[in-house]
Amino acid sequence: SYELTQPPSVSVSPGQTASITCSGDKLGDKYVCWYRQRPGQSPILVIYQNNRRPSGIPERFSGSNSGNTATLTISGTQVLDEADYYCQAWDSSAGGVFGGGTKLTVL
Amino acid sequence: QVQLVESGGGLVRPGGSLRLSCATSGFTFSDYYMTWIRQAPGKGLEWVSYISSVAGSRYYADSVKGRFTISRDNARKSLYLQMNSLRAEDTAVYYCARYVVVAPAAYADYFGQGTLVTVSS
């Protein structure tokens, strides 16, 4: 089976840059997307195809993917960015694999 | 605007069955793949299954293969998940989502509000 690994938590001060990583074997050969989920809410897509933003997602959200690691970067982090973030990639054997999620704390 | 509304969740005993439905509006349903994603209480997201736009392809996570069946009715703009032989570990909020597949990329761009399935005796 294919696995994606994320750090359980990341902390950042308001206005600083937050980086959330997602690791998997040869992940750079796959397309990665990222979801944000606030408590009690459904997930929303914030990055797709490694580095593309859906309409309505602020420019401060960006993504990259190379080697074994994909990274979600949030520049000028705001308190409202506090949420759980999940990476996902498609694997031909395992299907739509999710990372375990990262709780982003802004304080 | 795109809307996805799940229904059919509830309490069911281990070994029992349940059928989830997802009613959609705001987009051309027959043009899109669709997917089910679940989230156990206090846990992360888990992809469950997807179905292609004309139901020619269906894919399942190993954890549900042989027990769950995904289907769709393009005339009714609805997605379904038939869940049989339910286990305690199937307890979760089940989300219906629109699935964009541009091989090899795939991502869910809209989610419903979810429906809770509880498997317990």
Asked if pLDDT for residue B55 goes beyond 80, the answer is no
Tell me what pLDDT residue B105 has: 87
**Mean pLDDT over residues B50-79, rounded?**
93
Q: Report the chain B residue with the minimal C-alpha distance to residue A95.
A: B61
Nearest to B114 by CA among A86, A41, A103, A37: A41
B73 vs A82: CA distance, rounded Å: 38
> Which residues on A lie below 8 Å from B59 (Cβ)?
95
Determine which of A88, A90, A91, A102 to mutate to test the interface with B (most B C-beta atoms within 10 Å). A90
Tell me what pLDDT residue B36 has: 97
**Mean pLDDT over residues B56-78, rounded?**
95
Tell me what pLDDT residue A27 has: 96
Tell me what pLDDT residue B102 has: 86
**Mean pLDDT over residues B43-65, rounded?**
92
Q: Which residues make Cβ contacts (< 8 Å) with residue A37, sequence separation at least 6?
A: A43, A44, A83, A84, A85, A86, A101, B45
Contact B98, B34 (CB under 8 A): yes
Percent of chain B topping pLDDT 90:
91
Q: Is the C-alpha dihedral spanning A91, A42, B95, B28 positive or negative?
A: negative
Tell me what pLDDT residue A75 has: 97
> Which residues on B lie below 8 Å from A30 (Cβ)?
104
The answer to whether B4 faces chain A, any CB pair under 8 Å, is no
Q: Report the chain A residue with the minimal C-alpha distance to residue B115.
A: A42
**Mean pLDDT over residues B88-97, rounded?**
98
Between vectors from CA B93 to CA B105 and to CA A84, what angle results, nearest 5°? 60
Tell me what pLDDT residue A92 has: 81
Say if the Cβ atoms of A45 and B106 lie within 8 Å.
Answer: no
* Shortest Cα distance, chain B CAs vs residue A33, angstroms: 7
> Which residues on A lie below 8 Å from B105 (Cβ)?
31, 33, 48-49, 90
What is the identity of the amino acid at B95? Y
Tell me what pLDDT residue B104 has: 82
Give B54's pLDDT tier (boundaries 50, 70, 90): confident
Q: Is the peptide bond before B104 cis (omega within 30 degrees of 0)?
A: yes
Tell me what pLDDT residue A7 has: 98
Low-confidence residues of chain A: pLDDT under 50? none
Contact A22, A87 (CB under 8 A): yes
Tell me what pLDDT residue A93 has: 82
> Which residues on B lie below 8 Å from A84 (Cβ)?
44
The token pair that represents B63 in the structure block: 């954890």
* Shortest Cα distance, chain A CAs vs residue B102, angstroms: 9
Give B48's pLDDT tier (boundaries 50, 70, 90): very high
CA B61 centroid distance within chain: 12
In B65-94, the residues whose Cβ lies within 8 Å of chain A are none
Contact A71, A14 (CB under 8 A): no
* Residue B67 CA: distances (Å) to CA of A47, A78, B15, B19: 32, 43, 10, 12
